[in-house]
Chains A and B, each alone.
Chain A
Amino acid sequence: MVTAEQLRQVVGEENVSDDPAVLAAYASDQSFVSRLSPHYVVRIPSCDAVPELVRLARETRTSLVPVSSGAPHFHGDTVPSAGDAIIVDLSGLKTIDLVDPKERVASAVGAGVTFGELMTAVAEHGLRLNLPLRPRATKSVVGSLLSREPVIMPHYHWDICDPAGSMEVVFGTGDLFRTGAAAGPGTLAEQRAAGGRQKEAAGPSAMSLHRLLQGGQGTMGIVTWASVRCELIPTLEQPCFVASDDLAKLLQAAHWLVRLRLGNELFLMDRVYFAALVAEEGETFLQLAKEAPSWLLFFNLGAYRYLPELRIEGQSADARELLQGLGLEAKPSLAGVSAWEFLEQVRSPSPEPYWKLRLCGGCQDVFFLTTYKKLQGLIDVMRAAVEAAGFSLSRLGIYLQPIVQGTSCHVEFSLFYDRADARESATVRELAIRVIGPLLAGGAFFSRPFGEAARLIMNRDAATVEALKKFKAIVDPDGILNPGKLCF
């Protein structure tokens, strides 16, 4: 077992804590995974400290749990599953090495940089991020990339790994590696002098290890920085809502809008999710959840440097015709909420408290990927399960995010519940597990399994598990990286 003194020699006296209050903050999260306190929390002062820390952990057979974002955490992946664990807190890695507007990239963004921080930095260069819907203020950009979180502009989501670029990782062997173009030749400074921007995520050569770091929940390596693909800030925009009680029609509209690249931000949600996102207090929530149409599609046209008015005018007319053909209509506001106001909300980090916790104090998400065809059936499965569990449908919110340019759809069921109510917590906990089986049977693909459901999901595909274990044995032969997660 590693000692505090050994850790202090690596990261410095002030960066090692065994204060019970500090440890307690990492012993549990908003999810239902079992509570387990780490032995130490180690704050990483600079990327250089990570290889030595990992080598020390390997020598002493100590588990490491990397954490990039600040609390609250939601999925249990940052709660130790092994008794001797050390939390590797990367939230202090705040460097943004380079922003290049011509190449549309923020290069080598530290693991601790939050959305708010990076958005501000890139905006100064005329750039913006393709980000998840209203991320929490403490959410690390790199952490989000590593979780393959869905982003709100499917138009620019070419690949599920986007907007990730090259990454720096320290494997469980203690070896430092850089993925993609950052691998070299040369140091980052030398590459940049030659014009390199560490933007290419794939490679080097016939492997793309960023894909194994993503979705790995820290089991494959500790990522210290990643480059982030950026998009231009539009010079002109036109956001709007399309509302309907007929989800099938809205899905058809979403398909065509994404296919024709009509719209940057684009997603769908039901009235409960909409109300939870927008309402600042309970009464407004209840009113919106009652009065808003059953489903809404939100999309935002964008134009850039050249002839922005002409582009918006043309796209607007094309979108209008498309929607008319489906008997739908785009509107500038919905239930008293303007599309502009909504746009600014969804693409900004949430103020504290995080919007998902604002109304009831707790939120349990069940999320997966599927095709448009199976969506309605899966929603029916979830609603039936909610009713059977005795939970109120009025607190089930549904968010549908087309991803990878419309090749699949992220489905997120949010159960807003009162964490202080033990009975309700128990209901939600059981519901969130019990519904996995029926959802799997209905065509849900749990691409990012977390917490208690992870093993159930992974066990569906033994060949993949075996293949993943082979890779895990290469990069973490002693199994020190976040043991107990996924299938490891």
Chain B
Amino acid sequence: MTLTKEQYRALAAVVGGEHLSDDPVDLDAWAWRSGQAAMAQDFKPRFEAIVMPACTEEVQALVRLCNKFGLKFKASSTGWGSYCDPGGPGCIMLDLRRMDRILEINEENMYAVVEPYVIHAQLQAELMKRGLCCNVNGAGGNTSALPLAAHEGIGHMSASCGIGERNLLACEWVTPAGEVVRLGSLGSLGEWFCGDGPGPSLRGVMRGNVVPLGGLGVYTKAAVKVYHWPGPPSVELKGCSPHYAPVKLPPHFLLRYLSWPAEEGREAGIRRLGESEICFGVMGFNANMMAANVATNNEEELRLTEEYSKQIVGPGVCLVIAGNSARDFEYKRRVLELIVQETGATSLKAVEEGEVHDAFVWRFIRVTASIRETMRATGVFGGEVFGTDSYLVQSNFIQHSRKDKAELVARGLVYPDNTDPFITSLEQGQLTHSEVLLRWTPDPEVAQAAAEYVAKANRNAVEGHYGLPHHLWGDPQHDFFGPHTCNYTHWLRKIKKAYDPNGVAESTHHITAAE
């Protein structure tokens, strides 16, 4: 299918000819898929056109045209994975890159209002100038700061700066039917401080602990909670990427990597860190993730992985402490010492001081090393992204990866990094999230093995009653879990049908209305 002249003209009338293309060169550029969950096939189905709206009104007009013409649309901001691709023909891409403004930073009530193409690095830099900071997706500072863009919205500072689903305040939503709904105080007052009400909160329709991946319309603006930044307005850096570090780390920051001989030690450590509220950031990195954050190329990463593995005694966690004052920092530092002693943790000396430490702190906070962790080794990654609930269930579930990932490594199908699963603490230990990272060189055999790995993990989640993984994409995966999970698929489909009566919001990676 290609667009008819009438369709093309109608789309062009909304955005202007220069912001619309159906040139095959452009379409192929948007159809190329590397990165997350890329498999053997490099090119995905083409979009029929790439359209770049500049504002909500244009988005609304485009969505209405899709309803009129029977076209599907897929909106995307910074885009990271295969879920940004169309599932088949008849779909146009709403590329939101022209909607890139920070609309407001409210210092007194601690929120920022952003459009979809504002990235975390940009927002964070502006916030730091005002003594504020924000959660940054683990995927990196390069990702959209809209708390409705990332599939989850969990990041390095989620221990102190929350997560996407819970940081969302008021927002603006162009429904698949082409209506503009302004949630909360925005709809009643034109202000952004609250996303809930009057009455029940539509936040619960728009997203859950994951987003509908474009399958329920377009989120055009949103307010996101921001938090106190205990550092200076900016930090002077020396060197050039990837060889850079702060000239001088600001006072009252400290990074440590702690490991324990067994999972029980890590559990005790993470629980105590949460209960004592001392951490600015917590990430359950393994040896290879630590190495990837420090190394500037693959060879160095392999060398450091080996070096760190010798010092790391088992499951570990990378943490940053930041003091709001000298007294606060001193208190947190001393509590950390006690937790290390009590739980028998071993600190990784290689990252404790000097330029390695200072540079790591800055990269951790700016979340610039995720690309290194995920993409550098092979250019492609994937794995398993589990849910959020208690530490216990997350930890119990994810242990299977030690065996199952090891098997893939032994078969030579995935990158031989480390089989320790990743686990992280959210909101000072109130919630826990876990993942397993796999990196591979795409070919059909790997694609098959990765799919089998995920299917096995999903069966394990059902049989072991470990909860619903976050990364469930498309009808088959949802339908696998639905009957075991209160038939949530029934209600999710009802929502899809009610708000997208013509099925125009492309839903290959969300859920379709078909029962």
Contact = CB atoms under 8 A, between A and B. Distances in A.
Interface residues of A, number: 99
A259 B331 CA distance: 18
Interface residues of B, number: 99
B183 interface: yes
A207 interface: yes
A215 B201 contact: yes
A102 B110 CA distance: 31
Interface string A298-336: 000000111100110111011000000000000000000
Contacts of B275: 232, 304-305
Nearest to A460: B188
Interface in A436-488: 440, 443, 445-449, 454, 457-458, 460-461, 463-464, 466-468, 470-471, 473-475, 486-487
A336 B327 CA distance: 32
Given A314-B328, A369-B185, A464-B187, A200 B201 contact: no
Contact of A177 (B165, B204, B491): B491
A158 B227 CA distance: 11
B486 interface: yes
A314 B277 contact: no
Contacts of B58: none
Interface string A8-22: 000000000000000
Contact of B211 (A176, A186, A206, A318): A206
A318 B109 contact: no
Interface string B207-221: 111111101100000
A371 B183 CA distance: 17
B324 A210 contact: no
B63 to A, nearest CB: 14
Contact of A208 (B208, B215, B485, B499): B208
B412 interface: no
A120 interface: no
A474 B208 contact: no
A214 B189 contact: no
A265 B47 CA distance: 53
Contacts of A369: 185, 193-194
B338 A307 contact: yes
Interface in A172-216: 175-178, 181, 183-187, 190-191, 193-200, 202-216
A238 to B, nearest CB: 15
Interface in A343-384: 369-373
Contacts of A200: 209, 387-389, 431
A133 interface: no
Interface string A264-283: 00000000000000000000
A229 B430 contact: yes
Contacts of B197: 148, 215, 445-449
Contact of B276 (A177, A202, A306, A440): A306
B392 A471 contact: no
Interface stretch (B69-77, B356-364, B459-467): B459-467
Contact of B201 (A181, A195, A214, A445): A214
A105 B216 CA distance: 33
B393 to A, nearest CB: 4
A405 B465 contact: no
B404 interface: no
A260 interface: yes
Contact of B199 (A310, A313, A373, A458): A458
A486 B199 contact: yes
B182 A461 contact: yes
Interface stretch (B6-14, B173-181, B436-444, B446-454): B173-181
A33 interface: no
A311 B108 CA distance: 26
B108 A463 contact: no
Given A212-B204, A473-B498, A206 B216 contact: yes
B194 A158 contact: no
B377 to A, nearest CB: 30
B202 A464 contact: yes
B464 A194 contact: yes
Contact of B198 (A260, A305, A404, A446): A446
B285 to A, nearest CB: 22
Contacts of B466: 185, 194-196
B495 A207 contact: yes
Interface string B102-126: 0000101111000000000000000
B44 interface: no
Contact of B494 (A186, A447, A474): A474
Given A318-B324, A446-B188, A202 B183 contact: no
B491 A185 contact: no
A373 B185 CA distance: 15
B156 interface: no
Interface string B20-47: 0000000000000000000000000000
A474 B491 contact: yes
Contact of A206 (B182, B208, B328): B208
Contacts of A259: 110, 227-228
A135 interface: no
B495 A211 contact: no
A384 to B, nearest CB: 20
Interface in A213-237: 213-217, 219-220, 229, 232
Contact of B225 (A104, A229, A307, A405): A405
A373 B189 CA distance: 14
Contact of A470 (B195, B338, B487, B499): B499
B223 to A, nearest CB: 8
A103 B468 contact: no
A407 interface: yes
B111 A468 contact: no
Nearest to B177: A470
A317 B327 contact: yes
B39 to A, nearest CB: 23
B196 A148 contact: yes
A184 B389 contact: no
Nearest to A251: B108
B191 interface: yes
A102 B430 CA distance: 10
B179 A371 contact: no
B213 to A, nearest CB: 8
B461 A185 contact: yes
Residue of A190, A311, A464 with most partner-chain B CB within 10 A: A464
B199 A183 contact: no
A159 interface: yes
Contacts of A80: none
A406 interface: yes
B252 interface: no
B396 interface: yes
A375 to B, nearest CB: 11
Contacts of B495: 207, 471, 474
Interface in B329-381: 330-331, 334-335, 338-339
B199 A191 contact: no
A202 B166 contact: yes
A488 B324 CA distance: 48
B397 A194 contact: yes
Given A310-B331, A408-B109, A468-B200, A196 B430 contact: no
B465 A463 contact: no
Contacts of B109: 371-373, 406-408
Given A207-B495, A229-B430, A314-B330, A193 B465 contact: yes
Contacts of B272: 305-306
14 contacts: A184-B465, A185-B467, A196-B393, A200-B389, A215-B197, A307-B335, A318-B328, A371-B193, A404-B225, A405-B227, A445-B197, A447-B194, A448-B197, A463-B181
Given A105-B390, A194-B466, A210-B204, 13 more contacts: A103-B390, A103-B392, A104-B430, A195-B392, A196-B390, A205-B209, A206-B210, A216-B200, A220-B200, A305-B276, A405-B227, A445-B188, A447-B194
| Complex A-B, nearest 9 residue pairs according to Cβ-Cβ distance, in ascending order | A211-B204, A195-B392, A186-B465, A447-B197, A314-B327, A195-B393, A185-B484, A461-B187, A202-B209
